[in-house]
């Protein structure tokens, strides 16, 4: 199975742009996606980075952290759109159906790694008690 990431991004970018401008739709998308992420072992190696990406989105929408490009926020949203779509390259109801979803998220994390590192550094400078950013399954809502 070979994924065409650029085709996936082109196809989902218009929807991601609409969701970017609609906090209610973004919250619904993230809520649905988080249920899948936390209940699926395919994302075990990615969950920490995805949690940081979600914290970045929250801080962005709260106006606390603006040193992130819209393009990278859109990329994270695309990851969630792809995740919640049960009929993607490998339908999610099939055995191993989340492998392609994990590959898309891994690719996105790789592309925005520097952005996540910058955000983590910024967050650590706020003198947080912990060096990692915790996002619980229930802590996904964008205010």
Q: Over the stretch 30-61, which tens digit does the pLDDT of each residue have?
A: 998 888 887 777 777 888 899 999 999 999 99
What number is the average pLDDT over the span 91-103? 62
Q: How far apart are CA 47 and CA 67, in angstroms?
A: 23
Burial class (CB in 10 A: 0-12, 13-18, 19+), 62: exposed
Residue 27 has pLDDT above 70, yes or no: yes
Question: What's the pLDDT band for 17 if we cut at 50, 70, 90?
Answer: very high
pLDDT value, residue 56 = 94
Which pLDDT tens digit goes with each residue over 115-141?
999 999 998 887 555 545 555 655 666
Nearest to 16 by CA among 82, 99, 101, 108: 82
pLDDT value, residue 77 = 95
Considering only residues 3 and 47, tell me which one the structure prediction assigns the higher pLDDT: 47
Angle value at C-alpha 83, between 79 and 86, nearest 5 degrees? 145
Q: What are all long-range contacts of 112-120, with beta carbons under 8 Å and residues at least 24 apart?
A: 112/53, 112/72, 112/75, 112/76, 115/56, 115/68, 115/69, 115/72, 116/49, 116/52, 116/53, 116/56, 118/67, 119/52, 119/55, 119/56, 119/59, 119/65, 119/67, 119/68, 120/52
């Amino acid at each position: 199975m070979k994924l065409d990431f650029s085709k996936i991004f082109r196809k989902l970018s218009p929807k991601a742009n609409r969701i970017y401008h609609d906090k209610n739709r973004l919250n619904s998308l993230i809520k649905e996606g988080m249920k899948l992420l936390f209940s699926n072992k395919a994302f075990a190696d990615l969950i920490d980075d995805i949690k940081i990406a979600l914290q970045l989105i929250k801080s962005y929408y709260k106006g606390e952290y603006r040193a992130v490009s819209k393009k990278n926020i859109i990329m994270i949203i695309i990851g969630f759109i792809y995740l919640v779509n049960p009929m993607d390259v490998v339908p999610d109801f099939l055995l191993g159906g989340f492998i392609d979803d994990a590959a898309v998220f891994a690719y996105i994390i790789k592309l925005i790694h520097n952005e996540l590192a910058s955000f983590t550094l910024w967050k650590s400078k706020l003198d947080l008690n912990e060096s990692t950013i915790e996002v619980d399954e229930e802590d996904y809502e964008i205010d």
